[in-house]
Structure 1
Amino acid sequence: MQHAMPFHEVVRRRRSARSFLPDRVPDALIQAVADDARYAPSNSNIQPWVVHIASGATRDRLSKAMLDAAAEERMTPDVPFSYDDLYGVYKERQQAQGAAYFQAAGISRDAAEQRRFAILRNLEFFGAPHVCLLFMAPVYETVRVAGDVGMYGQTFLLSLAAHGLAGIPQTLLSLFAGTVHETLGIDPSLKMLFGISFGYPEPDNPVNTFPLDKAPIGETMTFHR
């Protein structure tokens, strides 16, 4: 009988992989991850997430459609999002993460074309054979529902890690929500929040193992006694 991995090990092992093996994850294993994720908490147990997973030829068709849209600068987000809205320590953390990723990928600061291709890898799902797309049902206020969908996404990611898989949450995919709706025939009343590309991570690839500086507890939490 396989022993369960301790939670503290799962949450620390989970990494946002940016390079995957082409091997498809067996349907039974994807089902097991989804079965874990459905236990995510939500306000009044309304479970307002609507999830679509694209694999195989459908995944390839979606990637091509998104790359075509990017080439035409045709962005159609369901929910506004821009890194330009970041400021202060939040902007600093975002820039530090980007610098660490490009360094791990061997891309210099002034290699603009290489950086552009690296960003477009998002729309190729970083080579992952599957992509999970998370939508918000049109109930309650958007922020409340987004929080519930976020908890579903985190549970999905932790389950991937516990099963020896990896995933990467990608808000950039949501900038092409209109393309996703059109390509997959998804009801436009469902608002796409983000996607998770997932599969078997490529072992020892530096883009999967570069260190991330997580803020200490004292920087993000206040105790009231």
Structure 2
Amino acid sequence: MLAEDFSALARQRYSVRDFRPDPIPDAVLDAILGDAAFSPSWSNTRPYCLAVASGERKDRLKDAYVKAFTEALPLQRKEPAAILRATLLRRWPDADYKTWGRYPDALRERSVKVGKGLYTHLGIAREDRAARDAKAQRHLEFHGAPTVGFVFVHEGLMPFAALDAGLMLQTLFLSATAHGLGSCALGVLTTWRHPVDAEFDVPKDYKLITGFLLGYPSEHPVNAFRAEHPPVEQARPR
């Protein structure tokens, strides 16, 4: 592969937020997972595990996630009664890693900027709670993707397991792009662990760190949105 070919591939990948329902052929999905196996890892430990679902299993997962999201909406809105009830009954989301915390101040500006850009692109006003909730629920509907995946990391090798999982996932995403598919990382899926445990026997000591989607991009206007890609930040020499 020429250097310019790789650069074109890397720039072609973007976060797809609406998919066609067309299923991914088994041979294509197997090829993508096969490419992901060639990503590097800490001492070749491969400290991660994938759970990938399509068809009826994916539909059951979607229904379970939408149900969990709907039940948690009052919590997300920080309604006092909901917070008190969750505290008394110990019914907080069963995430392995907290997903609702505030971003560090040094990083928050970037998150706010991309969020504002996306919602402006879609014409969703800040005060339009119904539209914002519907957009948020679309994450739990997997944006219509035919295949959803979950990434687990071995808690005994953190934080290096998370690094290795990221390398693997980017390799998987680039392979998907080369095969004509779209992809999207979906961290919000880690807010709830129980839907995945109901469908997969995950090895002991593995924690859910992110989800992802694969499929063929639709023509929905949301897929015209592109986040900014500033240069990689580099530390200045002393």
TM-score using structure 1 length = 0.89
Give the unaligned 5+ runs of structure 1: none
What is the distance in 2 between the residues matched to 1:131 and 1:175? 15
User: Residue type of the partner of 2:227?
Assistant: L
How far is the alpha carbon of 1:98 from its aligned partner? 0.9
What is the distance in 1 between the residues matched to 2:67 and 2:4? 41
What is the distance in 1 between the residues matched to 2:104 and 2:155? 27
Conserved 8 A contact 1:135-1:192: yes
Q: For residue 166 of structure 1, what is the aligned residue in structure 2?
A: 182
- Is residue 49 of structure 2 the alignment partner of residue 43 of structure 1? no
- The percent identity for this pair of structures is 32
Q: For residue 9 of structure 1, what is the aligned residue in structure 2?
A: 8
Q: For residue 153 of structure 2, what is the aligned residue in structure 1?
A: 136
- Is residue 74 of structure 2 the alignment partner of residue 70 of structure 1? no
For the residue of structure 2 that corresponds to 1:94, the secondary structure is helix
**Pairs aligned (count):** 218
User: Residue type of the partner of 2:57?
Assistant: T
Task: Point out the more displaced range, 19-28 or 131-140.
Answer: 131-140
1:178 aligned to which of 194, 214, 232: 194
Residues 5 and 222 of structure 1, relative CA distance in 2, 3 Å threshold: closer
What is the distance in 2 between the residues matched to 1:188 and 1:170? 23
For the residue of structure 2 that corresponds to 1:135, the secondary structure is strand
- Is residue 143 of structure 2 the alignment partner of residue 126 of structure 1? yes
TM-score using structure 2 length = 0.85
Please tell me whether Structure 1 or Structure 2 has the larger radius of gyration of its CA atoms: 2
How far is the alpha carbon of 1:68 from its aligned partner? 1.2
How far is the alpha carbon of 1:206 from its aligned partner? 2.4
Conserved 8 A contact 1:16-1:167: yes
User: Residue type of the partner of 1:213?
Assistant: E
What is the distance in 2 between the residues matched to 1:93 and 1:83? 15
Give the unaligned 5+ runs of structure 2: 73-91
Q: For residue 132 of structure 2, what is the aligned residue in structure 1?
A: 115
